[in-house]
Structure 1
Amino acid sequence: MKTDSLANKVYIDLRRKILSNQLVPGMRLKEDVWAKKTDVSRMAVREALNRLLGENLVVFGEKGGYFVKSMTPDDIREIRQLRELLELGALRMAFQKEKQDFIPALEQICDDFTAMVEKGYIGGACEADMKFHEILIASSGNSKLMELYQVSNIPLFHMKLGKMQMDDYEQTDAEHRQIVKALKAGDLKLAESTLVKHLLRGEETALEIE
C-alpha cells in the first residue's frame, strides 16, 4: 500500500479516536508508538499527524511533539455557535426535500447510542452521537456543507462526552429522538428548537467540565 493511503488510514483512525474521546486532550501522540500500533511507517504517521495539525485537532508541544488539542471556553462557545448555524441550515434544506430517506438512518443511530450506553461502551456512544449530527448535515444533500463541518473542528464537543454523567447520556438520547420524531411529524419548528436546546446544553456541560 502506498504511503499516502497508509497515512490516510492512520489519519482516519486517529481522528475518530480524538473525536470520540478515546484520545483525550493533552495526550501526546508519539510517531513511533502509532507506527507500531497501526503497522505503518513513521513517515505515514507523521503525514497523518500533520493533517490533523492542519485541522487544529492536534498541536505542537513547547518542546516538540504532537498533542491532542484542548479547548478553551471561547472555543466551546464559538463551536456551538457555528454548529447551530450549520445544523439548522442542514435541517431546513433536508426538510424541503421530497424524499426524507435519512430518517431511518437517524433512528438506527439513536438505537445504537442507546445500546452503547446500556452496555457501558462510552467510546461507542460518543461515536454514535457524532454520527447522528453528521447524518443531519449530510441530509442537506450539500457536499460543501459537509466538507465545512468536517474541517471546522466542530465535533470537538464530543471529546467531553467521556466525562459526562449517566443522566447527560439519557438527555442526549431523549433529545436526539425528539428531533427525529419532530422530523417524522413534519414539525420543523420543534426539530429546530430541540436541536438548539440540545447544542446549548452541550455547551453548558462542556463549560462545567472545563
Structure 2
Amino acid sequence: MAKQNQAQLAYEKIREKLISRTLEPGKRLIERVWAENLNVNRADVRQAFSRLLGEGLLVAGEKGGFFVKEFTLVEMKDLNEIRLVLEQAAAKFAIERATKNDIAELEKICEHLRIMSENGYLMGIGEADLKFHERLIKAAHNNKLEFIYKAANLPLSKNITSDVNRDKLISDVKDHIVIVDALKSKNLPKMLKLLSSGLDLMEK
C-alpha cells in the first residue's frame, strides 16, 4: 500500500469513529495502538491526528497527545442545526432523484441497524447510523451538497458510548425505516418531519 494511501486510510478510519461518536469523549488516542489496529505506520496515524485536530474533531492535551473532543450542548445544537438544513435539502432532491439502488442501499443499512440494535452492538449502531445519513445525502445526487456535508464534519447527535436505552435504539431504527418508506412513496412533508423530529437539537 502506497504511503499516501496508508495516511488517507488512517484518516478515514479514525474520522469515521469520531463522526459516529463511538469513541468516548475526552479519551486519549494512542498513536501506537491505532497504528497496530489499522496496520499502518505511526507517522501515518500522526498525520491523521493532525488533520483531525485541524478539523475540530480532536483536541491537543496541555502536556501533549491527542484527545477525543467533548462537544458542549451549544456546539452540538449548532452542529445539529446545520445537519438538519443539509439533510432536509438532500431529502428534497432525493424525492425526485433517488434511484432503486439508492433505496435498496438505505434499506440494507436499516436492516443492519435493526440487527445491531436488537443485539445491543453499540459500536455497529453508530457506524451504521453514520452510513445511513451519508447514503441519504448521496441519494440527492448533488456533488456539491455531498462535498459540503462531508467537509462540515457533523458528528452524530448521540454519543454511542454513553448508556443507551435499548428500546429507544429500536425505536430510532424504526424511524429510519419510516424515512426510507417516505422516500419510496415520495412523501416529502413526512420525510422532512421525520428528519426534524429525529434530531433533538439540544441532545449531546
Letter of the 2:152 partner, please give it.
S
2:73 matches 1:65: no
The residue type equivalent to 1:184 in the other structure is K
Percent of matched pairs sharing the same residue: 38
Amino acid at match of 1:64: G
**How many residues in Structure 1 have an aligned counterpart in Structure 2?**
203
The aligned residue for residue 14 of structure 1 is 14
Aligned-partner Cα distance in 2 for 1:173–1:117: 8
Deviation track 1:77-134 (CA, whole Å, cap 9, x = no partner) reads 1011101100000010111227454111111111100011122211111111111111
> 1:70/1:189 Cα in 2 relative to 1: closer, same or farther (>3 Å)?
same
**Equivalent residues in 2 for 1:9-48 (5 A)?**
9-48=9-48
Root mean square deviation, CA, Å: 1.8
Q: What is the CA distance between 1:58 and its match in structure 2?
A: 0.7
Which structure carries more helix by proportion?
Answer: 1
- Mapped to 2, the partners of 1:50 and 1:2 lie a distance apart of 20
How far apart, in 1, do the equivalents of 2:101 and 2:5 lie?
32
Higher relative contact order, structure no. (Cα contacts within 8 Å, ≥ 6 residues apart): 2
Unaligned runs of 5+ in 2: none
CA distance in 1, matches of 2:10, 2:90: 29
Matches within 5 A, 1:1-210: 1-97=1-97, 99=99, 101-158=101-158, 160-163=159-162, 164-200=164-200, 203-206=201-204
SS in 1 for 2:52: helix
Structure 1: which 5+ residue stretches go unaligned? none
3-state SS of the aligned residue for 2:198?
Answer: helix
* 8 Å contact kept, 2:10–2:38: yes
Write out per-residue CA displacement over residues 13-67 of structure 1, whole angstroms, 9 at most, x where no aligned residue.
Answer: 2122223333211111122332333333221111111111122111111222111
Of the structure 1 ranges 35-44 and 137-146, higher mean CA displacement relative to structure 2 is found in 35-44
Normalising by structure 2, we get a TM-score of 0.91
Greater shift, 30-39 or 187-196, is seen at: 30-39
Write the distance in 2 (CA, Å) between the matches of 1:39 and 1:87: 34
TM-score under structure 1 length normalisation = 0.89
